[in-house]
Amino acid sequence: MPTCHSTNDTAREHVRNTDIIEGAVFITDDQTKGKGQRGNSWEAAPGQNLTFSVVLKPSFLKADKQFYLNIVASLAVNDTIESFMPNAEVLVKWPNDVYLNSKKVAGILVENSFQGSRLSNTIVGIGLNVNQQTFKVNTATSLHNEGAGELDLQTVLNALLMNLEKYYLSLKREQYDSLKQAYYSRLLGFGQSRRYLAEYEFEGIITKVEDSGYLVIESKQGEHRFDFKEVQFLF
Ligand code: BTN
């Protein structure tokens, strides 16, 4: 689409009202009302970045394992960036922001619907900053700004979709352990002592992410479990 409000919302409307096939991709050059996690917005300069959503139908997946869809999307974005920038530091910040050389380069918004105890439809929305050169905040970056030069958006999209399919098929084959290990190996703060802010500031080590998505941090006071909005990383 040349323009649209939010590819996640457009994809959702099609899933509701039409018999859309799994794997359908909704992509726009100019997303005017992009949605982020926690009610935030996602802004991207028109024609310079990737803003798209993929429709999945993971009816094989139990609802209590829903976070594997975030893992699949995070790994796909991570691998894609690494394939264009082999020497860069690419990390996932839980739950699924992607950081390139310590700045946010991509955001992922996974929206699930359920049928009983299983998933029915999932919209995986991905915003990846590719060629944009100026940002309102200095905590954001693009592949271009970290040294990749000007990239062809279609080439980056193709690589990302191939990686997404690879990890999604691995999920379909129930390769939970290898997906989790791959996620941990790219997870900011995993096995390292860092500072966090919840109701109070504390130092801790991420020891695991539960299948439902809860983040587990071990501190001197014991083990803490956090839902999506309940903890902030301090840099
Ligand atoms: C975040 O960082 O909070 C997630 C951002 C997700 C942005 C993408 S852009 C394509 C898709 N459509 C949306 O409205 N949001 C996602």
State in Å: Cα 184 to ligand 1 middle: 23
In ligand 1, which atom is closest to the CA atom of 127?
Answer: 9
Q: Is 58 in the pocket of ligand 1 (CB under 6 A)?
A: no
Q: Ligand 1 mean position to 107 CA, how many Å?
A: 6
Q: Is the CB of 189 under 6 A from ligand 1?
A: no
Ligand 1 center–CA 156 separation, angstroms: 17
Q: Say if ligand 1 is within 6 A of residue 34 CB.
A: yes
Question: Could you tell me if the CB of 108 is within 6 A of ligand 1?
Answer: yes
Q: Tell me, in angstroms, the distance from the centre of ligand 1 to residue 34's CA.
A: 6
The predicted structure's pLDDT at residue 43: 96
Average pLDDT of the residues in 44-56: 98
DSSP string, the chain: --EES-HHHHHHHHHHHS-PPTT-EEEESEESSEE-GGG-EE---TTSSEEEEEEE--TTSBGGGTHHHHHHHHHHHHHHHHHH-TTS-EEEETTTEEEETTEEEEEEEEEEEEETTEEEEEEEEEEE--S----SSTTB--TIIIII-S--HHHHHHHHHHHHHHHHHHHHTT-HHHHHHHHHHTBTTBTSEEEEESSSEEEEEEEEE-TTS-EEEEETTEEEEE-TTS-EE--
The 10s digit of each residue's pLDDT in 10-41 is: 999 999 998 999 999 999 999 999 999 988 99
CA of 177 relative to ligand 1 center, distance in Å: 27
- In this prediction, residue 11 carries a pLDDT of 98
Give pLDDT, residue 160.
98
Average pLDDT, the chain: 97
Predicted confidence (pLDDT) per residue in 217-230, tens digit: 999 999 999 998 89
Tell me, yes or no, if the pTM score tops 0.85.
yes
48 pocket-lining for ligand 1 (C-beta < 6 Å): no
pLDDT for 61-104, tens place per residue? 999 999 999 999 999 999 999 999 999 999 999 998 999 999 99
Residue 229: the pLDDT is 85
Which atom of ligand 1 is closest in space to residue 37's alpha carbon? 3
**Residue 235 above 80 pLDDT?**
no
Quick one: pLDDT at residue 39? 87
